[in-house]
Structure 1
Amino acid sequence: MEKQFREAWSKMIEKLESWVDMLVVNIPNLIIALVVFVIALLLSRYISNLSMKLMDKSKLQESMKNLISKVVSIVVVLIGLFLVLGILDLGKALNTILAGAGVVGLAVGLALQGALANTYSGIVLAYIKHLKFGDWIETNGFEGEVVDLDLRSVTLKQPDNNLVYIPNKLVVENPIKNFSTTAQSRVILECGVAYDSDLRAVRDLVVNTISKSFKAVENEEDVIFLFKEFGDSSINFETRFWIDSTSALEVAKAKTKAMIEIKEAFDKNNITIPFPIRTLDIPDSIHISKESSQD
């Protein structure tokens, strides 16, 4: 038993001595590998900052600029790591790492299909010129201002100041209505007047009121006034005009202001906006007794 222990101890000492010899022999390689890795780290930071400066001239979203700079930095570090493994003559370890990375990448890809779809969609959205920060859009049943766009979702701030996070995949796959692609928005207001109203006077009064109430309406010709139909209790009309805003909230405010101005103008000129009414036509053959019976 003692002999076996001595043999095992001697073998362990020989192994340690061989490792020490190998370490001493490879000290220059270790120093070179360490220097290469440090240079790769410094170079990755420099290239990352340089890429950010170059992308500042582009129209990419801020989140995408940060992503690209980080990806470039990681790629430089990985290249440095591969060089270090080559310097240390660890080719077998490198092959093992690459093989393991392939298997892990496949498993992660299958497990994160939804997240990867959102990431890809985020990259696509970052290159769309007609969707940027500050735009007022409507998509997937939600409407608001684009306040953030990352690799996971598009963040909208609604008129009530609530934030909505919509996955990028849904934004890419569904229609987007962008109110900010033009400098103006159209306000459409519907109303009705009594049947005994002077329709020409109503038209002139509404057009004149709108043209005086909004700076964007330079003259009365910019206001579109249309009678739509003979309704059940009123003659209905529609008026349209433009305002210098792309925000849905500003459109709602302009519509409210127009309603107030038109109502005041109608009151001053004795024009009635009738309540819904119903007229009963009773045949002469039917007699209604006013006498009430008592039990």
Structure 2
Amino acid sequence: METELLNTDVINNMQSWIVNNQGLLIEYAVNITAALLTLIIGFMVAKMLTGGLNRLLRRKIDSTIADFITSLIKYVILAFVIIAALGRVGVQTASFVAVVGAAGLAIGLALQGSLSNFAAGILLIAFRPFKAGDYIEAAGTAGTVNSVQIFTTVLMTPDNRMIVVPNSNVLNGNIINYSKEKTRRIDLVIGVSYSADLKKTKEVLTRIINEDNRILKEPECRIAVGELGASSVDFVLRPWVQADDYWNTRFDLLERIKNELDANGIGIPFPQMDVHLFKKEADGQLRRQDVA
């Protein structure tokens, strides 16, 4: 009986509080709804605005710079949207900004790596050692540049893997840009037997180079004996090609050189090992055994 009376009193008190504070509840509900709408609409506007701006900038400037600028603008807009939403639910934004500013030093110390990546991203955009679409080697990896984000550089490998590299790692290491120049040199080392006719070998290699239309006439291809190795005479071939033709030309040259050298009876040595077996006889002497 006492429990039923207690429950009845609680319900009555709640109903009374709701009736007395109806206006306040309605105000809170409106503010919360407005804050949610502010967040949703703000995020949608940020996405649409930066998407349209990115397409516009790509027509005027390099896509790498366009992606970086629009990413930065997007995060700035989202920060204002969140502050506006907090203000709508009654949070004093002035105090909030002051607290964020006061905590900025601590956050900056805690996020030194992120801040260095941000600064490195700005420097990469400013000095432009590469652009979107370039094939580069940096920070111990290689791939085609997809974009430079605020904190990271995105690379795509030839087998379609995405590699995300911190900007500071890219900037602080060596950057090799294979796409910067229009032409590239192919460096090949072809080893032939010591018994091979060097003059004939050079004629065969020269003919192969001259018959490939992808190889540029200028600069002239260098064909010469580069080294007298342990088991071979090593020729160096250094033809120049357009950067886009580099890999296909290299693969085709290696295949044709092998076929042409075989057709002309020019041997290509390969490592060999002679194994000798010895058997210890009863008298303690070692006797060599022939292996069939």
TM-score range with shorter-chain normalisation?
0.5 to 0.7
* Whole-angstrom distance in 1 between the partners of 2:130 and 2:194: 47
| CA positional deviation for 1:235 | 1.2
Residue 63 of structure 1 is matched in structure 2 by: 67
Residue matched to 2:214: 216
What residue is the counterpart of 1:263 in the other structure?
A: 258
Displacement after TM superposition at 1:278 (Å) = 8.1
Q: Which residue of 2 aligns with 1:125?
A: 124
Match of 1:185 in 2: 184
State the match for 2:243 in structure 1: 245
Residues 220 and 75 of structure 1: is their aligned pair in 2 closer, same or farther, counting only changes over 3 Å? closer
For 2:253 and 2:221, the matched residues in 1 are separated by 12
User: Is the 1:156–1:165 contact (alpha carbons within 8 Å) kept by the matching residues of 2?
Assistant: yes
Describe the superposition over 1:16-55 as per-residue Cα deviations: whole angstroms up to 9, x where unpaired.
xxxxxxxxxxxxxxxxxxxxx9xxx9xx989979976874
Q: 1:97/1:220 Cα in 2 relative to 1: closer, same or farther (>3 Å)?
A: closer
Q: Write the letter of the residue equivalent to 1:259.
A: L
Distance 1:221 1:173 in 2: 34
User: What's the CA shift for 1:216?
Assistant: 2.6
Displacement of 1:270? 1.3
Q: Does structure 2 retain, via aligned residues, the 8 Å contact 1:232–1:276?
A: no
Alignment CA distance shift 1:78-1:237 (3 Å):
same
Alignment-mate amino acid for residue 70 of structure 1: K
CA–CA distance in structure 2, aligned partners of residues 260 and 144 of structure 1: 26
When Rg is computed on C-alpha atoms for both structures, the one with the higher figure is: 1
Q: Which amino acid aligns with 1:269?
A: N
C-alpha separation between the residues in 1 aligned to 2:76 and 2:53? 8
Q: What's the counterpart of residue 136 of structure 1?
A: 135
Task: Tell me the distance in 2 between the aligned counterparts of 1:99 and 1:77.
Answer: 17
Q: Does the Cα contact within 8 Å between 2:216 and 2:240 map onto a contact in 1?
A: no
Q: Is the 8 A contact 1:55 1:65 kept in 2?
A: no
- The 1-side partners of 2:288 and 2:127 are apart by 77
- Which moved further from structure 2: 215-224 or 113-122? 215-224
Query: How far apart, in 2, do the equivalents of 1:292 and 1:97 lie?
Result: 90
Deviation at 1:102, TM superposition (A): 1.6
> Any gaps of 5 or more consecutive residues in structure 1?
1-36, 85-92, 280-290
Q: Which amino acid aligns with 1:114?
A: G
Q: Distance in 1 between matches of 2:55 and 2:144?
A: 27
- 1:205 corresponds to: 204
Decide whether the 8 Å contact of 1:118 with 1:153 is kept in 2: yes
Equivalent pairs: percent with the same residue? 29
- CA gap of 1:206–1:278, structure 2 versus 1, over 3 A, is same
What's 2:112 paired with?
113
Unmatched segments (≥5 aa) in structure 2? 1-37, 275-286
**Partner SS state of residue 127, structure 1:** helix
Counterpart mapping for 1:1-295 below 5 A: 55-56=57-58, 57-59=60-62, 61=64, 62-70=66-74, 73=77, 96-212=95-211, 214-219=212-217, 222-246=220-244, 251-276=246-271
Normalising by structure 2, what TM-score?
A: 0.65
SS of residue paired to 2:186: strand
CA contact (8 A) 2:216 2:239 kept: no
Counterpart residue type for residue 220 of structure 2: D
Contact 1:47–1:72 (8 Å) recurs in 2: no
Structure 2 residue identity aligned to 1:132: K
Displacement of 1:108: 2.1
Moved more, 270-279 or 254-263: 270-279
- Give me the TM-score of the superposition, normalised by structure 1: 0.65
Give the secondary-structure state (helix, strand or coil) at the position aligned to 2:144. strand
Give 1:71 deviation, angstroms: 5.8
Q: Structure 1 residues 78 and 195, CA, compared in 2 at 3 Å: closer, same or farther?
A: closer
Per-residue deviation, residues 51-103 of structure 1 (Å, max 9, x unmatched): 7687452336232131343366469879999xx9xxxxxxxx67634432221
